[in-house]
Amino acid sequence: MSELLPTTNADGLPVIPMTEEQKYVFDLKGWICLPGLLTEEQLAPVREHQMKFLYERDSLPAEEQNNHGGVSQILLDNPAVVGVLNEIISHQRLASEDCYGFRFDHTYTSHRQAGHDNFNPHGGGGFFSFGGSSHYYQMQPEKIHAGLVRVVWELNEVEKKDGATMFLSGSHKAAFPRPKSLSGRESDLWETYACPAGSVAIFTESLCHTGTQWVNEERDRLSLFTCYNTVNAKWGKGCPAPEVIEAMAPKRRTLFRGVWHGMNEGEKINRYYDGANHAV
């Protein structure tokens, strides 16, 4: 792509573009892991916010009563995450230095203790889907568009055997339906990741993926599963409350703008957020 705006995130930090190697791996497998994006100093208050959001929500001020409210807003547009989203889902016509070329879609936080099981393989073959489902994958030589994209933030360390999200690498381009013989969790085709706390796994929702059983007795899994979409499409229902968004820096707010495209200039094209132009 010739243009990949914005070049800084909402906090003014330089966006980190994908390397050629990362682009190749993402296109080949349909997912990528970026380890260690946050320091422990950044992570501790984010973990605390997530636990309060899950278990003591009323103790938080209104603008923090959201998965990405308060300190957890830094996860939304971490410079390395923006670098990936710029490359794989941004629609550059709707991007400017002040406005992201993609939108927040929906999210959830998951706190899992040993024994929690989320084995439920779904997705795959998105290369052959039409756009209405958002679960599609497109490519041209040297350019991809990944459709609905999931960014999994791992707030605690993950080891390979712990039971993080699993992927059938390459299945976003699979022409055949997944045979029953390869559908169990014991299949060798499943791939997963190990990473330090404060890492992300990013994948196209057009890829076959699943949760599995979390088995680490010593350490819980604490993750955010945040989805991004093209500006003019939305998969999940709802949007954070206006007071949550108003408490963010202006560029971050553009992740929550209305779901439309438009044309021309000014308020006729969807390159801004304001109180009347937010997603529902």
* Interface with ligand AKG, residue 209, by CB under 6 A: yes
- Judged by CB under 6 A, the chain residues 155 through 194 that form the site for ligand AKG are 165
Which of these ranges, 24-32, 69-77, 78-86, 204-212, lies near ligand AKG under the rule CB under 6 A? 204-212
Contact 159, 216 (CB under 8 A): yes
Kindly tell me which of 101 and 121 has the beta carbon lying closer to ligand AKG. 121
Structure-derived torsion over alpha carbons of residues 117, 171, 199, 271, reported in degrees to the nearest 10: -120
| 274 phi, psi to nearest 5 deg | -150, 180
Determine the Cα–Cα distance for residues 262 and 143; give it in Å rounded to an integer. 24
Do the strands 103-112 and 221-229 form a parallel or antiparallel pair, or are they unpaired? antiparallel
CB of 238 to ligand AKG, least distance (A): 16
Residue 257 lies near ligand AKG (rule: CB under 6 A): no
The contact mask relative to ligand AKG for 211-230 (x = CB under 6 A, - = no) is: x-------------x-----
By beta-carbon proximity to ligand AKG, the closer residue of 86 and 210 is: 210
Residue 221 or residue 253: which is nearer to ligand AKG going by CB?
Answer: 221
One DSSP character per residue, 143-160 reads: EEE-SSEEEEEE-S-B-T
How many residues at the interface with ligand AKG, by CB under 6 A? 7
Of the candidate residues 66, 206, 210, 270, the single one contacting ligand AKG (CB under 6 A): 210
Residue 128, SS3 per DSSP:
helix
Buried b or exposed e, range 143-161, using 16+ CB within 10 angstroms: ebbbbbbbbbbbbbebeee
Q: Which residue is nearest to ligand AKG (CB)?
A: 211
Task: Give the phi and the psi of residue 223 in degrees, each rounded to 5.
Answer: -135, 150
Instruction: Specify the stretch interacting with ligand AKG by CB under 6 A; choose among 19-27, 95-103, 186-194, 206-214.
Output: 206-214
Binding segment for ligand AKG among 23-31, 60-68, 129-137, 203-211 (CB under 6 A)?
203-211
Tokens of 26: 């993402």
**Do strands 209-210 and 166-168 pair parallel, antiparallel, or not at all (unpaired)?**
antiparallel
Considering only the stretches 7-15, 33-41, 136-144, 208-216, report the one whose residues sit in contact with ligand AKG under the rule CB under 6 A. Answer: 208-216
Question: What size, in residues, is the chain?
Answer: 280
- Interacting residues with ligand AKG (CB under 6 A): 118, 150, 165, 209-211, 225
